[in-house]
């Protein structure tokens, strides 16, 4: 039996963290032991997005960890420990974290990513009004911009279609204006709905 089949059977077609059934996928909790059924878990789209920091943390959603942290599956224990640490400003999360025991080997595995040191905030690309931007969105310039190293002047109100988010810099996006790809600061754009 393939690992995916074993995981799906174990999970009973539900997210192993929150018991949701929406868009389930196998998630591998990277481990020094390679890919095994112990470090692969079945999780929903909402859990995935928040674990991968592609969505703001929803504290209420993660209260499900009070139950799932008791799982015997090491991958679930590791993710529960990491997420509880990211939510440690919440009293319920700290209470659960105090109860969750990981042996030395699992604790070292859980700390390996350094994710537990994060404060739970997520850096997302946001426009001037605070709306979250995604790859492929269209935006409108809210200010006329001179493009450095070019004769192009991007005018106020210009629509930039099919933007691309700049990795590792949430203040920048890339877009095509007059046939040229340029970097635009997110504070100068408004998401087109």
The string of pLDDT tens digits covering residues 14-44 is 999 999 998 999 999 988 777 888 999 999 9
| DSSP conformation class of 61 | G
Answer yes or no: is 177 within a domain: yes
Sign of the dihedral defined by the CA atoms of residues 10, 12, 18, 24, in that order:
positive
Query: What's the pLDDT tens digit per position in 149-180?
Result: 778 888 899 999 999 988 888 899 999 998 88
| 122 domain-assigned | no
Domain boundary among 117, 149, 172: 117
Q: Same domain, yes or no, for 42 and 94? A: yes
Provide the residue range defining the domain that includes 163.
139-191
**pTM, 2 dp:** 0.68
* Interior angle at CA 5, CA 4 and CA 11, nearest 5: 90
Domain count of the chain?
A: 2
In a domain, 39, yes or no: yes
The reply to whether 27 and 79 lie within a common domain is yes
Residues 77 and 12 reside in one and the same domain: yes
Whether 41 and 74 map to the same domain: the answer is: yes
CATH number of the domain within which 171 lies: 2.30.30.40
User: Could you give the residue ranges of the DSSP H alpha helices within 12-113?
Assistant: 45-51, 65-68, 74-86, 91-99, 104-111
């Amino acid at each position: 039996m393939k690992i995916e089949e074993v995981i799906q059977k174990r999970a009973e077609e539900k997210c192993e963290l929150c018991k949701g059934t929406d868009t389930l996928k196998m998630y591998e909790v990277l481990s020094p032991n390679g890919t095994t059924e112990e470090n692969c878990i079945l999780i929903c789209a909402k859990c995935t997005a928040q674990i991968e920091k592609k969505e703001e943390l929803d504290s209420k959603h993660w209260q499900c960890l009070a139950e799932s942290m008791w799982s015997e599956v090491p991958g679930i224990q590791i993710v529960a420990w990491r997420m509880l640490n990211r939510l440690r400003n919440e009293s319920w999360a700290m209470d659960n974290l105090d109860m969750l025991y990981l042996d030395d080997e699992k604790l070292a595995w859980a700390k390996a990513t350094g994710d537990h040191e994060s404060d739970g905030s997520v850096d997302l690309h946001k426009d001037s009004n605070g709306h979250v931007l995604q790859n492929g969105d269209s935006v409108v310039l809210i200010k006329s911009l001179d493009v450095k190293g070019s004769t192009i002047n991007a005018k106020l109100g210009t629509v930039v279609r099919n933007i691309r988010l700049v990795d590792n810099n949430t203040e920048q996006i890339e877009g095509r204006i007059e046939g040229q790809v340029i970097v635009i600061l997110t504070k100068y754009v408004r998401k087109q709905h």
